Amino acid sequence: MKRIISSVGKSGLNNSKDTSVVQELLNRATKPGSKLLKVDGISGFYTIKAIKSFQKEVLLFKKTDGLVEVGAKTWKALERYDSEPTNSQTANFLTYLGNLFQSYLISAPQKEKKIAWGAKVTKDFKSKVLLISQKLKISPDYLMSCMAFETGGTFSPKIKNAAGSGAIGLIQFMPNTAKALGTDSKFLSQMSAVKQLDYVEKYFTPRKGKLNSLEDVYMAILYPAAIGKPSSHALFKKGTTAYKQNSGLDKNKNGEITLKEISSKVRTMYEKGLKQGYLG
């Protein structure tokens, strides 16, 4: 019996194993011959779209939220497809196997996919992000949204930190970070955005397979020790310099800045990136 332990979809925790389960069940629920999701554990644009379609077409929701929560109506409906396949499901499963086999023989052009903020970058930049995301097992929507946040939506390799920390570029490389990657801030600022993505990939490579949510990707940039922590995890507490520098993020004024609070602006950027005019 398949199960999930956390939410999957829009604004969900999007644990990789849970996401794979939802993707598999959504594929079983799809009409034979229809295009199926890639079961890759990444809750990106197409997975959220499939959840919304299921909610609208199967559950007849007037308002879809693209979210599968443990014990909620959408999950209970999906659970019905975790059983011995009917003739229709068998046909669908055979179609799935055929599509999966074909995907290994013929690599689908990743650049045709729509991703968050894809309409705001060049074709070459988008294609490279898709390639990097596939290699690192990161949702391209998450990676794009974090770079959009770090650059103020410009995706400029030259943009500098306004506070004067010396950070620069797509993920605001600190001088010491640049040095550890075998380069320096000046060299990074002189390269193109597409070329700088090589260093973005190099930076994230040690964390391959560990970045299962938007917050994980952002924490990899801001505070790697918090990767994989729950949203309630307190990063900074009152009385520390870090808390003082980020005190405006303590929404409930309880003297703690949680992972959820410090990631809220990045999530806003993610949701913006999925809207018309930004998705592409």
Q: Tell me the pTM.
A: 0.64
- pLDDT for 91 beyond 80: no
pLDDT score for 2: 86
Model confidence at 274, in pLDDT bands (50, 70, 90)?
very high
Given a contact cutoff of 8 angstroms between Cβ atoms, the answer to whether 12 and 77 are in contact is no
pLDDT score for 117: 98
- Under CATH, which number does the domain 118-273 receive? 1.10.530.10
216-258 confidence digits (pLDDT tens): 999 999 999 999 999 899 988 999 888 887 788 888 899 999 9
pLDDT score for 93: 52
pLDDT score for 30: 83
N- to C-terminal Cα separation, the chain: 37
- pLDDT for 110 beyond 50: no
pLDDT score for 106: 43
Percent of the chain clearing pLDDT 70 (strictly above): 89
pLDDT score for 130: 95
Looking at every residue in the chain, the average pLDDT score rounds to 88
Task: Select the more confidently predicted residue: 106 or 210.
Answer: 210
pLDDT score for 164: 81
Model confidence at 113, in pLDDT bands (50, 70, 90)?
confident
Q: Quick one: tokens of 107?
A: 């690599």
Sequence-distant (≥ 6) Cβ neighbours of residue 273 within 8 angstroms: 116, 117, 141, 144, 145, 148, 279
- pLDDT for 123 beyond 80: yes
- pLDDT for 46 beyond 50: yes
In residues, how long is the chain?
Answer: 280
- pLDDT for 168 beyond 90: yes
Model confidence at 111, in pLDDT bands (50, 70, 90)?
very low
Task: Select the more confidently predicted residue: 138 or 30.
Answer: 138
Segments making up each domain of the chain, as ranges: 8-108, 118-273
From CA 67, how far away is CA 224, in angstroms rounded? 27
